[in-house]
């Protein structure tokens, strides 16, 4: 099947993929733009997983200050080389993450950072909410687990829906940037400031 150059350009603008990757994805998806976009996303996740074990000794500390001057965030994001740390795409990524932190107020970077006593307290609250429900205990356990996952998605940065694209989490956004930039990237820490 011959793929139209306009279709390739449209897919590239949607995904940020390279020309040949976009063309191959469109060929594999027989011209279906949505399916090709999904294929690129899946391939990007595979590439990101392969790169995730590589050391990140470079990076940047980036600050975002909201236009009213009363809200802001600082984030430390690591990459493999100083070349990437100075790259415009990486700087834009750092700004997006800092802006997201300003807007959503996460408390922890990853699930493992949440203190166990706080998790146990939330589980206890969710379980008490379900006490008066006439449901089997295994169903209640699943509901409590679902509520706990929802709670994590509110307070854990990597599990939050990205404010610029709510179809992906911050973790998925990081992985998509790893795939497009070609280096391992990790968010090390952050701080949010609000007056």
71: Cβ contacts below 8 Å, ≥ 6 apart: 65, 102, 193, 194, 195
Among 115, 95, 86, 97, residue whose Cα is nearest residue 158: 97
pLDDT reported for residue 178: 86
What structural domains does the chain harbor? 5-51 (1.10.8.10), 58-109+156-194 (3.30.479.20), 115-155 (1.10.286)
In tens, the pLDDT along 163-175 reads 999 989 999 999 8
Asked whether residue 2 carries a pLDDT value surpassing 90, the answer given is: no
Which is higher by pLDDT, 112 or 44? 112
Q: Which residue matches tokens 């733009």?
A: 33
Contact 1, 27 (CB under 8 A): yes
Among 27, 20, 38, 19, residue whose Cα is nearest residue 3: 27
Where is average pLDDT lowest: 13-17, 80-84, 99-103, 108-112? 13-17
**Taking the model in full, what pTM does it have?**
0.71
pLDDT reported for residue 109: 96
């Amino acid at each position: 099947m011959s793929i139209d150059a306009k279709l390739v350009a449209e897919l590239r603008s949607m995904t940020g993929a390279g020309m040949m990757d976009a063309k191959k994805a469109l060929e594999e998806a027989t011209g279906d733009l949505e399916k090709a976009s999904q294929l690129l996303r899946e391939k990007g996740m595979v590439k990101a997983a392969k790169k995730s074990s590589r050391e990140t000794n470079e990076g940047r500390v980036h600050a975002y200050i909201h236009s009213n001057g009363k809200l802001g965030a600082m984030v430390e994001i690591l990459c493999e080389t100083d070349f990437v740390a100075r790259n415009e795409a990486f700087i834009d990524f750092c700004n997006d993450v800092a802006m997201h932190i300003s807007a959503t107020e996460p408390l922890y970077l990853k699930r493992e950072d949440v203190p166990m006593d706080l998790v146990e307290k939330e589980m206890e609250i969710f379980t008490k909410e379900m006490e008066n429900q006439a449901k089997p205990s295994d169903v209640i356990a699943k509901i409590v687990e679902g509520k706990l996952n929802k709670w994590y998605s509110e307070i854990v940065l990597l599990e939050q829906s990205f404010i610029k694209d709510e179809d992906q989490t911050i973790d998925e956004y990081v992985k998509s940037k790893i795939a497009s930039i070609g280096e391992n990237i990790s968010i090390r820490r952050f701080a949010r400031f609000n007056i």
